[in-house]
Amino acid sequence: MTKTQDIRDAVELELSYDPLIDVSDITVKNINGEVALNGTVPSFPQYLEAAAAARRVSGVKKVHNHLEVTLPSGDYRDDPMLTTMANIVVPDGVEATAKNGNLTLTGTVSYGTERTAAEDAVSGLTGVRNVTDYIEIINDADPVDVTVYVQDALDRYALILDDSDVTVDTDRNTVTLSGHVRTWAEHDAVIDAAWMAVGVYDVRDDLYITG
């Protein structure tokens, strides 16, 4: 059996193992560690969970999530209802607009964690098919300090090894992360650490997962 077959089989097994995912209409393809998920799922949380499950598999370097959310008839919400539901749960300064089950978030927050909180708040709402985030981060932190804040955060994280070659490059308030990480868990820890730093408006991911 080839390594390509091994990885594909492992991803399929992990998807089947996850009780939060209905795998009935999901197919998996793998080319050199780049995994594509195709088919349909009945909810947006399952769309997110399927990608997370694939990333847990050893050897997976990138996940292309092409799944579509096909809502059961009982989960459909019209645009005004879904818009109202979403605007109840998002933080102050954020506005949600629904169109055919697709939610768009706009507005401003002070920290990246607030933007993540807004996405998380609406992702689990019944009737959501997709979430697009246009929220802007506005903070008066000095861009010169941003690199220091991010690097300090990386140094504190237990999942990131002391000899890691991850580098932080800051252009104004946009952080670019590059270097190598071993797993998706380490990758996500690096991204999360960067987003939590004060003054970060955007994070560009140039990390390479060695597997």
pLDDT tens column, 179-202: 988 888 888 888 888 888 888 888
Q: Using an 8 Å Cβ cutoff, are 105 and 132 in contact? A: yes
Coil, helix or strand at residue 149 = helix
* Total structural domains within the chain: 3
- The more confidently predicted of residues 175 and 27 is 27
Q: Is residue 1 over pLDDT 60?
A: no
Q: What is the pLDDT of residues 49-99, one digit of tens each?
A: 999 999 999 889 899 999 999 999 999 999 999 999 999 999 899 999 999
Nearest to 12 by CA among 23, 1, 4: 23
Are both 12 and 63 inside the same structural domain? Answer: yes
Q: Which residues contact 161 (CB under 8 A, 6 or more apart)?
A: none
Q: What pLDDT is attached to residue 198?
A: 81
Q: Using an 8 Å Cβ cutoff, are 46 and 15 in contact? A: no
Q: Which of 137, 170, 190 is the last residue of a domain?
A: 137
| Average pLDDT value for the chain | 90
Are both 16 and 56 inside the same structural domain? Answer: yes
Q: Using an 8 Å Cβ cutoff, are 42 and 70 in contact? A: yes
Are both 156 and 204 inside the same structural domain? Answer: yes
What Cα–Cα distance (Å) separates residue 150 from each residue in 36, 100, 175, 177? 31, 38, 8, 10
Q: Which of 69, 88, 113 is the last residue of a domain?
A: 69
User: Which range marks the domain in which residue 50 is found?
Assistant: 3-69
Are both 131 and 149 inside the same structural domain? Answer: no
Are both 32 and 64 inside the same structural domain? Answer: yes
pTM of the model as a whole: 0.79
Q: Which of 69, 84, 109 is the last residue of a domain?
A: 69
Are both 110 and 161 inside the same structural domain? Answer: no
Q: Tell me, what CATH number does 201's domain have?
A: 3.30.1340.30
